[in-house]
A and B are shown apart, each in its own frame.
Chain A
Amino acid sequence: MVDSIDKAREEFFSEAQEIIETFSRNLLALDAAISEGVKDPTLVNEAFRAVHTLKGLAGLFGAVAMGTLSHHLEDLLDELRLGRAELTRTVLDLLFGAIDVFGKILAAERSGSEAMPPGLDELVGRLRELGGSVAPEAGMVTDYELDPGMLAVLTEYEEHRLRSNLEQGLRLYRLHVKFDLATLDKALEEIKDRAKRHGEIITYLPTGESSSIETIELDLLMASHDDLSILIGALASDRIIVEEIERKPLVPAAFSSRTHPPVVPESVLSVPSGHPRPGEEAADLALVSPDRSLRSLTQTVRVDIRKLDRLMNIVGELAIVRNVLSRIAERVRAEGQPQISSELLRVHRNFERRLTEMQDGILEVRMVPLGQVFERLSRVVRQISRELDKEIRFVITGSETEIDKLIVEELSDPLMHMIRNSIDHGIEDTAERARVGKPAAGTIALNAFQKGNHVVIEIEDDGRGIDENALMQKALRLGKIDLTDREQLSREEVLSLIFLPGVSTRERADDVSGRGVGMDVVKTNIGHLGGVIDVQSEPGIGTKMTITLPITLAIVSALLVRVGEQVFAIPLNSVSEALAFDGRGVRVVDGRELMGLRGQSLPLCRLARVLGLPDDSTSGRKFVVVATVGTRRLGILVDYLIGQQDIVIKPLGKTLAEVRGFSGATELGDQNVGLVLDPGALIEEVLLSGESVREKGLRAHG
């Protein structure tokens, strides 16, 4: 039972996160609206609603800091919503600031900390200063022939909305609609959509006397700047009646009389024809199973991604069942029962097809649009450009591109860091840009698209480009390269020096980029996601970083290799190259085999030996697969390179889980199961005792 409260608490954190993201989206839209000189009261309203909900939830789940902040934000947004305070840039900056504080609060409260995050007090103080005094609202609402029944069911919030619409001089309309219950949502979405162009629907009032259990009648209260004739043309149909609510000539106190019983507006009391007799209703009721109605209830569910992982594992298990099935079919055929065998094979094929569909289905569920993280980035761009006083045009394309939820979560930090770098080091200051004839605003383009089983994200700026000379100097000073390297490195290799530890880290810490996180960390983080990162740069023209990621973590691209009779898969993101190997040039140092590779030592690992497989190390041609993880490298000796394949990694059973060097097993499509190597663990394993070798031989070449 305590569990379910904990679960509710977990739900709360995800919901809070979502609400904060919605809030942030609203602010970005408001920012854009201000830039275009447009006022959009609905956006402020939505922001208010988001914060209002958050406040309620925070109270329920005892999230004190979140409650405090949302409470003060709500006050300010209420003022803004009702036009008592003006939404200026300063106010907007303050609101944006709240999002960061929310982030910190969420992180702290999630981990159970009760400490107030830094910056909260100051923010609350500034919010207090901005929120003006609450003036009593004018009594405009009562000037209308509004049904008291309709007014009695407005929440305080809806009444605010009604009032602010009237204050702007809009007219009021009543839309009487009749819809099928089953398609209610769709019908209302549609009418909402059409009404949006003409004004705002303030509330939906279901009327008491519904004519049948399959239909529902509603009165919609709408404020609009348009005439009745326009609205009739735009909205009316046989199911929608539009009426104008007239202004009263005098002002009787209809609304303030609480003794007035809630009544259904007159216009809906007339029962439409086709109203079933009570007997018929009862019959209808009995025919509808309650299960059916419950199933049709919710359109979305929130699922823990680990549950999807488990489903994916089951798909892996089923793949093995499928293979057994096909083997049995072959055995049956061999035993002289071709008919049963072909029947079995048919079942097998069917099974295989469905299994593929299931796998695709599960993968699809994990996918979320990159837009989620891109939105957060626009906020960062806005913030940094103001801090550094650089004008930035941030152009996003492809935010609808979908990728594994787990990857999206991890992408935000690396992308943020890269964008910080671009603004800070890439984009020149305004004076400099004017001097070289570039437009005053620097452009940073974030572009995403799908390419086969991969998603490519490009970050391109039109700044000064990477200073190759400075990069090389820094690498030299840090001992990452030596003078001979300096002569030999290609341009591409020089640029990729930026990914070596220490090279991209600033010596002087500043507010924006110098936080000790270098491009090496970015590369490592992208690597953890199975991705790679490339850099291109032209002096004076700009820099482009390209990240290539797998679409999902559940499937990885791998190099399949054979050792003896066994097939192994090596994740491609850690393979830097593969070479033919003839056994020459191998030295033994401290009992470890090393080979020379372009002037550096590469430790070797004979997979057969590690696994205790028969090792015919003397005979024939072999291959070395060079695996790179971070700055360490290892040459893995294999008999044969089979090729590249996308594989689903399945965890190892208990018996094998203890063996280091493998991350799981995979089903190879030709009824074989292969082990998936974990190059990182394998490197650790092989080099554990070879400290001296590690020092000398394992420095990445760049």
Chain B
Amino acid sequence: MLRILLVEDSQSMRAFVSASVEQGAAELGEVELIQAASGFDALRLLPRGRYDLVISDINMPDINGLELLNFIRANEKYRALPVLLISTQSSEKDRQRGLALGATAFLAKPFSSEQLVAAVRAALDGAS
């Protein structure tokens, strides 16, 4: 079973990702989605479990997705963890920075359930 850590400050966005992952069960298999409502929550959850993938929004208050990614890449324990970043279409700069920091894959808002599932697949494949 896949364990995915979702870091997203918007509740409906979390619900959407959760529903999409559920919908993609045929392709992804069974997924346990652990949800963090902020970068802080993610920092707390990271050491407390094994994850196969982190999906994180870039734009979040306080700790943003890039900072979380930087933390993951700089920390020996998590370094190999694939990270899928959710970006805004308009911000190419954020994408560039994410790439430089070692993001595994990107997904630009707005996206469909199918696009999300494909991106998750790509991030997992890219990592292996």
Contact between B19 and A7, CB atoms less than 8 A apart: yes
Contact between B22 and A1, CB atoms less than 8 A apart: yes
Q: Given A8-B12, A258-B100, A262-B70, are A206 and B88 neighbors across the interface (CB < 8 Å)?
A: no
Question: Taking the nearest CB of chain B, how far is it from the CB of A131, in angstroms?
Answer: 14
Q: Given A1-B23, A57-B12, are A209 and B75 neighbors across the interface (CB < 8 Å)?
A: yes
Report the separation of the CA atoms of residues A156 and B101 in the bound assembly, to the nearest whole angstrom.
15
Residue of A nearest to B88 (CB): A56
Report the separation of the CA atoms of residues A660 and B94 in the bound assembly, to the nearest whole angstrom.
63
Report the separation of the CA atoms of residues A65 and B13 in the bound assembly, to the nearest whole angstrom.
19
Question: Taking the nearest CB of chain A, how far is it from the CB of B78, in angstroms?
Answer: 9
At the interface, yes or no: B68 with Cβ under 8 Å from chain A? yes
At the interface, yes or no: A11 with Cβ under 8 Å from chain B? yes
Contact between B44 and A15, CB atoms less than 8 A apart: no
Selected contact of B45 from candidates A4, A205, A208, A297, CB within 8 Å: A297
Q: Given A61-B12, A184-B40, are A206 and B68 neighbors across the interface (CB < 8 Å)?
A: yes
Q: Given A156-B93, A213-B47, are A60 and B13 neighbors across the interface (CB < 8 Å)?
A: yes
Contact with A along B23-39 (1 / 0, CB 8 A): 10000000000111101
Contact between A206 and B43, CB atoms less than 8 A apart: yes
Question: Taking the nearest CB of chain A, how far is it from the CB of B74, in angstroms?
Answer: 2
Residue of A nearest to B21 (CB): A4
Residue of B nearest to A157 (CB): B59
Selected contact of A8 from candidates B19, B36, B65, CB within 8 Å: B19
> Among A31-39, A285-293, A645-653, which stretch is in contact with chain B?
A285-293
At the interface, yes or no: A52 with Cβ under 8 Å from chain B? yes
Contact with B along A187-214 (1 / 0, CB 8 A): 0100000000000000111111110010
Selected contact of B40 from candidates A8, A156, A188, A261, CB within 8 Å: A188
Contact between B71 and A206, CB atoms less than 8 A apart: yes
Report the separation of the CA atoms of residues A118 and B110 in the bound assembly, to the nearest whole angstrom.
25
Contact between A52 and B59, CB atoms less than 8 A apart: yes
At the interface, yes or no: A584 with Cβ under 8 Å from chain B? no
Q: Given A7-B19, A205-B67, A206-B63, are A56 and B48 neighbors across the interface (CB < 8 Å)?
A: no
Q: Given A213-B47, A290-B48, are A57 and B10 neighbors across the interface (CB < 8 Å)?
A: yes
- Enumerate chain A residues within 8 angstroms of B37, measured Cβ to Cβ: 297-298
Contact with A along B1-23 (1 / 0, CB 8 A): 00000000111110110111011
Contact between B101 and A204, CB atoms less than 8 A apart: no
* Interface of chain B residues 54 through 97 with chain A (CB within 8 A): 58-59, 61-71, 73-75, 88, 91, 93-94, 96-97
Contact between B109 and A60, CB atoms less than 8 A apart: yes
- Enumerate chain B residues within 8 angstroms of A567, measured Cβ to Cβ: none
Q: Given A5-B19, A184-B43, A188-B40, are A205 and B94 neighbors across the interface (CB < 8 Å)?
A: no
**Residue among A15, A206, A298 with the most chain B CB within 10 A?**
A206
Contact between A208 and B36, CB atoms less than 8 A apart: no
Residue of A nearest to B45 (CB): A293
- Enumerate chain B residues within 8 angstroms of A208, measured Cβ to Cβ: 70-71, 73-75
- Enumerate chain A residues within 8 angstroms of B20, measured Cβ to Cβ: 5
- Enumerate chain B residues within 8 angstroms of A302, measured Cβ to Cβ: 11
At the interface, yes or no: A216 with Cβ under 8 Å from chain B? yes
Selected contact of A15 from candidates B10, B61, B63, B88, CB within 8 Å: B10
Contact between B67 and A206, CB atoms less than 8 A apart: yes
Report the separation of the CA atoms of residues A184 and B41 in the bound assembly, to the nearest whole angstrom.
9
Q: Given A52-B59, A56-B109, A297-B41, are A210 and B66 neighbors across the interface (CB < 8 Å)?
A: no
**Main secondary structure on chain B at its contact with chain A?**
helix
At the interface, yes or no: B49 with Cβ under 8 Å from chain A? yes
Report the separation of the CA atoms of residues A125 and B64 in the bound assembly, to the nearest whole angstrom.
33
Chain B residues within 8 Å of chain A by Cβ, number: 54
Contact between A7 and B15, CB atoms less than 8 A apart: yes
Selected contact of B74 from candidates A181, A184, A207, A298, CB within 8 Å: A207
**Main secondary structure on chain A at its contact with chain B?**
helix
- Enumerate chain B residues within 8 angstroms of A16, measured Cβ to Cβ: 12
Residue of B nearest to A294 (CB): B34
Contact between A60 and B16, CB atoms less than 8 A apart: yes
- Enumerate chain A residues within 8 angstroms of B49, measured Cβ to Cβ: 290, 293
Report the separation of the CA atoms of residues A292 and B49 in the bound assembly, to the nearest whole angstrom.
11
- Enumerate chain B residues within 8 angstroms of A1, measured Cβ to Cβ: 19, 22-23
Contact between B70 and A155, CB atoms less than 8 A apart: no
At the interface, yes or no: A410 with Cβ under 8 Å from chain B? no
Residue of B nearest to A11 (CB): B12
Residue of B nearest to A74 (CB): B90
- Enumerate chain A residues within 8 angstroms of B15, measured Cβ to Cβ: 4, 7-8, 11-12
- Enumerate chain B residues within 8 angstroms of A390, measured Cβ to Cβ: none
Report the separation of the CA atoms of residues A7 and B98 in the bound assembly, to the nearest whole angstrom.
31
* Interface of chain A residues 244 through 265 with chain B (CB within 8 A): 258, 261-262, 264
- Enumerate chain B residues within 8 angstroms of A52, measured Cβ to Cβ: 59
Selected contact of A155 from candidates B22, B43, B64, B74, CB within 8 Å: B64
- Enumerate chain B residues within 8 angstroms of A262, measured Cβ to Cβ: 70, 73-74, 100-102
Q: Given A213-B47, A293-B45, are A153 and B19 neighbors across the interface (CB < 8 Å)?
A: no
Report the separation of the CA atoms of residues A208 and B69 in the bound assembly, to the nearest whole angstrom.
10
Report the separation of the CA atoms of residues A662 and B24 in the bound assembly, to the nearest whole angstrom.
48
Question: Taking the nearest CB of chain A, how far is it from the CB of B98, in angstroms?
Answer: 9
Contact between B70 and A149, CB atoms less than 8 A apart: yes
26 residue pairs A–B, Cβ–Cβ below 8 Å: A5-B23, A8-B19, A15-B11, A49-B61, A52-B59, A56-B59, A56-B109, A56-B110, A149-B70, A152-B66, A152-B97, A153-B64, A153-B67, A153-B70, A154-B66, A155-B58, A155-B66, A156-B93, A203-B67, A206-B71, A258-B100, A262-B70, A262-B101, A292-B48, A293-B49, A297-B41
Starting from the known contacts A4-B15, A208-B71, 11 additional A-B residue pairs (CB-CB under 8 Å) come to: A4-B18, A7-B15, A8-B19, A15-B10, A56-B13, A153-B66, A159-B93, A261-B100, A285-B48, A288-B48, A297-B35
Binding site for B on A (CB under 8 A): 1, 4-5, 7-9, 11-12, 14-16, 49, 52-53, 56-62, 149, 152-159, 181-182, 184-185, 188, 203-210, 213, 216, 258, 261-262, 264, 285, 288, 290, 292-294, 296-298, 302
